[in-house]
Amino acid sequence: MFSSRLTISSSFLLSCPRVSDIDECRISPDLCGHGTCVNTPGSFECECFEGYESDVNECALSDNLCKNGQCVNMPGTYQCSCDTGYQATPDRQGCVDIDECTIMNGGCETHCTNSEGSYECSCSEGYALMPDLRTCADIDECEETPDICDGGQCTNIPGEYRCLCYDGFMASMDMRTCIDVNECDLNPNICLHGDCENTKGSFICHCQLGYFVKKGSTGCTDVDECEIGAHNCDMHAACINVPGSFKCRCRDGWVGDGIKCVDQDECLAEDHNCNPNADCVNTPGSYRCTCKEGFNGDGFSCSDMDECADNVNLCENGQCLNAPGGYRCECEMGFTPTEDSKACQGAALVLLAALRFTSPRRKQV
């Protein structure tokens, strides 16, 4: 026996050029559950078994009910059992997203981002999300990337780091990188007397001939060729250092271009200071003065020597008369002066000497 009958609103399938009825009972045999399905034009009816009331299973009628949830048939209606991350609408016939971020920030320590049916925690720059997917820990960029401050020293601080740059580098505006300083552009005269080449953190001076880079200094320093013996001056020349080079000059007493020097004969050239009563003697690179006989002094100053006063025995048998540079004897009666007038001799001796000089030599047989 059937206890009740349920009539469902009409439904038709439109198919041009005529309309055909849909047999819902044939398409869904269990459409009426605990009852018999009776197709009608444009609809169907359920004749329920004894002990059952008529009810439509809305969940079986449509797959679009309870999106993001499960449809649960109820007597005379249905309800939605929502998936995790969704909650039922007030009439419990739909599911809407739960914004977890509005509830204690979703449990996130820093940033919470809601998504359809879920949410995600994220950290600020410089922090990493921990395995619990909620808390954040500082990233030590200095340890993680040792060369992050190439050209400087890295210092980690909460959420970021700073670069303390070495000489030859400058920090960027955010102090997160070290930038090479181009010293050549910064100071065009840094390699005076040379060419400047910029290098990472420094520079190199390629000096011109006669200059070098002195340890502990910048730029090009003049090479003192005279001090280090890097010259070709003659041994009798003086080396004179000049910027980038040197000059040679012959010393006093020598003449030449400095590369080759020869002795200057001051005596021959009469370029000396000897006293007129002295003899000039040339020496290598100089000369010396010697007072002539009969004069005393150092050669530059010579005074007459009074031989008569110095030696009373001069001019025996006569009188000694001093003369500039010498003396002469004025002999007594019966004596005559010698040829150089520096002594007196008897007249008999003079006659004997004359005879010996003029007598003919004996012929040898």
**Is 11 inside any structural domain?**
no
Residues 176, 190 share a domain: no
| Secondary structure of 290-347 as H, E, C letters | EECCCEEECCCCEEECCHHHHCCCCCCCEEEEEECCEEEEEECCCEEECCCCCCEEEH
Cα–Cα distance for residue pair 119/85, rounded to 1 Å: 9
Within-domain flag for 66: yes
Among the candidates 171, 199, 222, a domain finishes at 222
260 occurs within a structural domain: no
Q: Is 210 inside any structural domain?
A: yes
pLDDT for 121: 96
Phi-psi region of 210 (alpha: psi -120 to 50; beta: other; left: phi over 0): left
Assess whether 90 and 66 both reside in one domain.
yes
Number of structural domains found in the chain: 7
Q: How many other CB atoms are found less than 10 A from the CB of residue 314?
A: 19
363 is a domain residue = no
Give the per-residue pLDDT at 23. 85
Give a yes or no: residue 235 inside a domain: no
Stretches in the chain below the pLDDT threshold 50: 1-4, 6-17, 362-365
100 DSSP assignment: G
Domain assignment of residue 338, given as a range: 307-346
Q: ∠ CA(34), CA(40), CA(41), 5° rounding? A: 155
pLDDT at 144: 92
- CATH, residue 160: 2.10.25.10
Residue 133: inside a domain: yes
Say if residues 154 and 147 touch (Cβ distance below 8 Å): no
- Under DSSP, is residue 58 helix (H, G, I), strand (E, B) or coil? helix
pTM to 2 decimals?
0.46
DSSP string for residues in 189-217: TTTTTEEEEEETTEEEEEEPTTEE--TT-
Q: What is the sign, positive or negative, of the torsion defined by CA atoms of 182, 185, 187, 189? A: positive
Shared domain check, 119 and 151: no
Q: Does 294 lie in the same domain as 271?
A: yes
246 within some domain:
no
Based on the fold, state whether residues 168 and 191 are members of the same structural domain: no
Instruction: Assess whether 276 and 297 both reside in one domain.
Output: yes
Looking at the fold, whether 107 and 84 belong to one and the same domain comes out as no
